[in-house]
Amino acid sequence: MTEPRGVLLMAYGTPASLDEVEAYYTHIRHGRPPTPELLADLKARYQAIGGVSPLNDITRRQAAALQARLDAIDGPGRWRVFLGMKHTRPFIQDIVREMAASGVKTAVTLVLAPHYSTMSVKSYQTAADQAAAEAGPRLWHVDSWHLQPQFLQALAERVTAALARLSAGAPSDGAVSDGRSAPSASDGTPGGTPATVIFSAHSLPERILEADDPYPRQLRETGEAVARLAGVTDYTFAWQSAGRTDDRWLGPDILDVIRQLAGQGRRRLVVCPAGFVADHLEVLYDVDIDCQRLAAELGVQLVRTASLNDDPLFIAGLADVVRARAARGDHDE
């Protein structure tokens, strides 16, 4: 029997309860506990979306769906999908050791973030490499998959559905388009009122630009490709969810972009958080609450595209990414 090949799926992680928020925040801050004010603010954000984020549950569903897809293609037993988190248990390093102990000799690593940056995807890979250096397995990294066809198609379908929701006069209440089986997209709405699509991703410290980090370029490439697929010509880009540090972060911030568009007379907006692949705090609070609050104040109708979560088309794309990386690794050896 062919030995199983591992897939190390890596994700950010989120606290499972409000009691875990302080330890989680401290881990993000490299062991420095947050101030009482920062901790209270983060807890309030979690409380605003129901007390906990659905991210851990969604990530587990994504891993299970990827396992099922790989099994369907190559047969059960060929692949073993493992899930490791950056900031919560099970930690990436522990899962790498678990893979090695289970007899996995080679594994493809895939971060659940489409765009590469030395400050994001690279940090996951480094954590995995450090653990693998002790006893294996041999790791083949996927750096980015921001132009993966099924990923782009899934986003385009959601943009189309969100534009259709605007055309139908959906209330600006934070409701999200269901993302599939919608009529063809257009970049306008009845009566000639234009609709603008904002493609967003998590901001990072601006210093990444000094090393020509590909992160901003890759977001733009994703947005441009999705816009072409959806037939959209009126779109722009924004950064969101910047950290509360002394660093300068990539901009423009999404709230400033909404203000600018409103000042130009734009009253119908679609936010497509193309840098995120699951519902979590940066989507459910930063877009569905913060952006919606501002849109209401400005008299702007705003609809967010549905998150990818464990959508079958998206998962099929991830499976293709994994299999292609393994094939390349086999060829190089």
Q: Binding site residues, as ranges?
A: 12, 29, 45-46, 53, 124, 202, 282
Token pair 């119908």 is at which residue? 268
Give the C-alpha separation, 258 to 320, whole Å.
36
Residues 302, 294: Cα–Cα separation, whole Å: 10
Distance CA 84, CA 87 (A): 9
Query: Tokens 């936010």 appear where?
Result: 271
Known binding residues for Fe(2+) are 202, 282
Q: Is the peptide bond before 149 cis (omega within 30 degrees of 0)?
A: no
Mark the binding-site residues for Fe-coproporphyrin III, compressed into ranges.
Answer: 12, 29, 45-46, 53, 124
